[in-house]
């Protein structure tokens, strides 16, 4: 744990490109491109993390855990799997219907989302609010949108399109949580 005077840095990293689409496989590994992207995380974060104690959390999904591996090999940290940062729950939605269901969520007002999704979002926000040390989180598009949307006071479920292996940075300073930088956005949006 850090002292009360120090700013807590939190880095939320979207996983690298998956080998299969969200409506093709519920838990795909990284593609070859995703593996290359995850290697790039080392250069993005090495200076930020150098000399600091930090914890690392990851979604339980393979693509997030695999994205953390190159940085783990370089810095030798332990990864704690945290279900809070898993992708948005889609109960009772068949694999083939997931893409259309997810697209329908994009423009949904947070207040109008389902109870399961509201509870999922609240869990993410509560977990972020309770962090007491520098933290790196390997997670997903919708998780990042929950955090950014909350900090920017956006009403929609999706407020920006983080690219694979983008790094969003937030800080907690004197119990105030603020967005420092959003990660790189997707250059093209897949419809």
Provide the mean pLDDT of the chain: 92
Per residue in 64-74, pLDDT (tens digit) is 999 999 999 99
Cα dihedral 50→55→61→64 (10° resolution)? -10
Residue 6 above 90 pLDDT?
no
pLDDT of residue 95: 87
Predicted TM-score of the model (pTM): 0.94
Domain annotation for the chain: domains and CATH numbers: 8-181 (3.40.50.1240)
Per residue in 151-185, pLDDT (tens digit) is 999 999 999 999 999 999 999 998 899 999 999 99
Going by C-beta distance under 8 Å and a sequence separation of 6 or more, which residues neighbour residue 95?
A: 23, 24, 25, 26
What sign does the dihedral 98-113-115-143 (CA atoms) show? positive
pLDDT of residue 191: 45
Residue 188 above 80 pLDDT?
no
Per residue in 9-56, pLDDT (tens digit) is 999 999 999 999 878 898 999 999 999 999 999 999 988 898 889 999
pLDDT of residue 5: 66
Edge-to-edge strands, sheet with 176-181? 79-81, 55-58, 135-139, 8-14, 167-173, 176-181
Q: Are strands 55-58 and 79-81 parallel, antiparallel or unpaired?
A: parallel
Question: Which pLDDT band, with edges at 50, 70 and 90, does 82 fall under?
Answer: very high
Please say whether the beta carbons of 144 and 59 come within 8 A: no
Q: Are strands 176-181 and 167-173 parallel, antiparallel or unpaired?
A: antiparallel
């Amino acid at each position: 744990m850090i002292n009360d005077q120090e700013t807590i840095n939190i880095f939320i990293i979207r996983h690298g490109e998956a080998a299969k689409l969200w409506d093709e496989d519920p838990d795909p590994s990284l593609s070859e491109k995703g593996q290359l992207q995850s290697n790039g995380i080392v250069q993005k974060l090495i200076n930020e993390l150098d000399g600091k104690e930090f914890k690392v959390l990851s979604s339980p999904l393979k693509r997030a855990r695999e994205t953390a591996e190159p940085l783990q090999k370089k810095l030798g940290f332990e990864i704690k799997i945290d279900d809070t940062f898993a992708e948005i729950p889609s109960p009772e939605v068949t694999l083939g219907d997931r893409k259309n269901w997810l697209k329908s969520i994009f423009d949904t007002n947070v207040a109008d989302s389902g109870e399961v999704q509201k509870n999922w979002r609240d869990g993410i926000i509560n977990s972020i609010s309770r962090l007491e040390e520098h933290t790196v989180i390997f997670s997903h598009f919708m998780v990042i949108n929950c955090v950014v949307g909350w900090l920017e006071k956006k009403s929609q479920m999706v407020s920006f399109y983080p690219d694979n292996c983008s790094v969003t940075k937030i800080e907690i300073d004197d119990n105030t949580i603020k967005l420092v930088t959003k990660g790189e956005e997707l250059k093209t949006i897949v419809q």
